[in-house]
Amino acid sequence: GQSLEQPSEVTAVEGAIVQINCTYQTSGFYGLSWYQQHDGGAPTFLSYNALDGLEETGRFSSFLSRSDSYGYLLLQELQMKDSASYFCAPQTGANNLFFGTGTRLTVIP
Amino acid sequence: DTAVSQTPKYLVTQMGNDKSIKCEQNLGHDTMYWYKQDSKKFLKIMFSYNNKELIINETVPNRFSPKSPDKAHLNLHINSLELGDSAVYFCASSLGPRESPLHFGNGTRLTVT
């Protein structure tokens, strides 16, 4: 079967750094994506890790360890607009992304 | 200039009715998807088409029937709607079946009363 574990909620202060962890169990694995979804909005792509290591895109970085079936999303210099749900999504087959319920991040002043 | 557009944005209907949701993408992508997001924000794939051919068909009641008239369009028809079908339905597209990222439409909020 497939399973995903992310914290359901995280709260952090504006300007701080927050890390959202993700562990997964899938049959077949191609890579790990991260998506952001604001309330009432559509999921939007943040990053994709196919190989082990850190990928950096501006204030956001994503890490993958395939041997540990683990990844994380690091958000730096948090802004109020970063309050949203964040989904890690392992790619398990022909672009079959397994999303789960995500982590709701609340940024407070 | 919307990349993935779906209509309607909101759909309120009674149990037992039949309804359709339409989706179009102007990105030139080959692969399109339907996802369902429930009230707990669980986002789950329902169907995927690559160049009009069905490639993913998750365990979905056969009351749900996708149709892809061409690779830019993927519609979802739902028969005999039930209360449990209430959710937000997202259409998405990608360059190909193993290509990232997915581009999502803005969603259709379906409420069955």
pLDDT tens for A15-62 read 999 999 999 998 888 999 999 999 999 999 999 999 999 999 899 999
In 3D, which of A39, A44, A24 has the Cα closest to residue A105?
A39
The residue type found at B53 is E
pLDDT score of B57: 83
* C-alpha to C-alpha distance for A108 and B2, rounded to whole angstroms: 32
Nearest CB to B102 within list A41, A45, A93: A45
Q: For the residues B52-72, what does the mean pLDDT come to?
A: 90
- Nearest C-alpha in B relative to A43: B104
Contact B97 A100 (CB under 8 A): no
Stretch B10-20: mean pLDDT: 97
What pLDDT shows up at residue A22? 97
Residue B1: the pLDDT is 66
Tell me the mean pLDDT in the region B86-91.
98
Average predicted confidence (pLDDT) for chain B = 94
Of A48, A85, A94, the CB nearest to B100: A48
